[in-house]
Amino acid sequence: TGARIVGKAAALLKREGGKYALATQCIGGGQGIATVLEAA
């Protein structure tokens, strides 16, 4: 599901014409990760 979340964030970034998008994912064991996307 992490890839789906990042893909959705990228699609929304393009559709809305934004500059940045942030996607967060839980990776189990109490860990997590955040991905910042920047529009080109």
For residue 23, report the phi and psi dihedrals to the nearest 5 degrees.
-125, 135
The reported pLDDT for the residue numbered 14 is: 96
Share of the chain above pLDDT 90, in %: 85
* CB within 8 Å of 14: residues ≥ 6 apart: 39
Placement of tokens 């934004």 in the chain? 18
Is the pTM higher than 0.85? The answer reads no
Q: What long-range pairs does 12-16 form, CB within 8 A, spacing at least 24?
A: 13/37, 13/39, 14/39
Residue 27 has pLDDT above 90, yes or no: no
Residue 10 has pLDDT above 90, yes or no: yes
